[in-house]
Structure 1
Amino acid sequence: MRRYGYHQSNFDHTLFLKRKGNLVTCLIIYVDDMIITGNDEEEMKKLKANLFTEFEMKDLGRLKYFLGIEVLRSKQGIFICQKKYVLDLLAETGMIDCKPADNPMMVNHKLCMEENTKLADKERYQRLVGKLIYLSHTRPDIAYAVGVVSQFMHQPQVTHMEAVCRIIRYLKGTVGHGVLFQPNKHLKIQAYTDADWAGDKGDRRSTSGYFTLVGENLVTWRSKKNKK
């Protein structure tokens, strides 16, 4: 990629970029799957031709599915979701017929490590939370709840597993939720942040969160417990 004039992103080493004035071409790769996109049609055709000469490849056309993420296009814009991923998770956990929860976590939950409390299956807990973390790529509505349960990976208790199961029950009622990117006439950047100020019952640390919008479209979000 460097030989073709691309530079590797410092933020994501699987992303390669090439700029020509206002034209940008991007390539992102994961093992043997890749996405090529941008607004430089000529450069994208050239890049594909170069890659085809060096590797045995197949052009699958417009992006529809990538690493469990579904991409749908309509007049309203581009919609990304992980519907199949959620259905597979429900089937794996035996919760395909469970009663949906109204929200991913109880209000004022205050989860913490309790003394003399029964432990949950650590391996299963870590596997489920790992799947939920990946699901958060298209589900900002579960980001906070997943951030909370991920704090107990080292020694999960039964109450923590119950919180994980509630997130999954919430997913049952929101299988098709995702993120919509609508075409707008501007690229105005907006950012919002908040914190619960010493909200952790155990160590009194705060959990902060943020999300950013570009052209009124949600592009990044995160919820994280502060180190101090």
Structure 2
Amino acid sequence: MGELKFFLRLQIKQLEDGTFTNQQKYIHDMLKKFVMENSKPMFTPMATNVKLTLEGEVDSFDSTKYRGMIGSLLYLTASRPDIMYSVCLCARFQENPKMSHVEAVKRIFRYLKGTMHLGLWYPKFTGVDIMCFTDSDHGGSLIDQKSTSGVCAFFRLCLTS
């Protein structure tokens, strides 16, 4: 069968010292699908001063298209944990998206355009080390005052979840 190179739109490159996974082709196809291939790249997935809320805007956006954009981004988080927070924040507004929500999603697309080459590196070595990191924001949501938390789990210095 040969060496594994693609699996469920995940590109896999096996080297002597480890394995590298990314979704560069998927990002390219996604940018083309949502007509963002000629957009200007960004260096961050979300601006620090952006506060997404439900109130304040009258203009709505097509929720079907917005859900498609969010679904594509959620699939991409398998190899791009750097966009997880931004995508999940934008996913909260799928029921009635406003133009500010769409602009936030487009910024994520522009960030991906500039960072297509990034992915996850899993080096080969011996030893079993498990590390976990957690962070939480109690009552920090501007919408419903709910808490937000996240966990990163590493096995042998490789991000697993």
Same-fold call, TM cutoff 0.5: yes
| Larger proportion of strand | 1
Whole-angstrom distance in 2 between the partners of 1:146 and 1:187: 32
TM-score by length of 2: 0.95
Classify 1:193/1:125 alpha carbon distance in 2 versus 1 (closer, same or farther; 3 Å): same
Whole-angstrom distance in 1 between the partners of 2:17 and 2:38: 32
Q: Which amino acid aligns with 2:62?
A: D
User: Which residue of 61, 64, 82 maps to 1:123?
Assistant: 64
Verify the 8 A CA contact 1:112 1:200 in the aligned structure 2. no
Verify the 8 A CA contact 2:70 2:90 in the aligned structure 1. yes
TM-score by length of 1: 0.68
Q: How far 1:164 sits from its partner (Å)?
A: 0.5
User: Which residue of 100, 104, 107 maps to 1:159?
Assistant: 100
Verify the 8 A CA contact 2:23 2:79 in the aligned structure 1. yes
CA RMSD of aligned residues (A): 1.2
Whole-angstrom distance in 1 between the partners of 2:17 and 2:94: 40
User: Which residue of 1, 7, 24 maps to 1:83?
Assistant: 24
Q: How far 1:196 sits from its partner (Å)?
A: 2.1
Task: Name structure 1 gaps, 5 residues minimum.
Answer: 1-59, 221-228
Whole-angstrom distance in 1 between the partners of 2:6 and 2:131: 29
Whole-angstrom distance in 1 between the partners of 2:17 and 2:99: 43
> Highest Rg: 1 or 2?
1
Q: Which amino acid aligns with 1:189?
A: I
1:191 aligns with 2:132: yes
1:93 aligns with 2:21: no
Q: Which amino acid aligns with 1:119?
A: S
State the number of aligned residues: 161
1:143 aligns with 2:84: yes
Deviating beyond 6 angstroms after TM superposition, the runs of 4 or more aligned structure 1 residues are none
Aligned equivalent of 1:178 = 119
1:113 aligns with 2:71: no
Q: Which amino acid aligns with 1:214?
A: F
Aligned equivalent of 2:148 = 207
Q: How far 1:85 sits from its partner (Å)?
A: 0.2
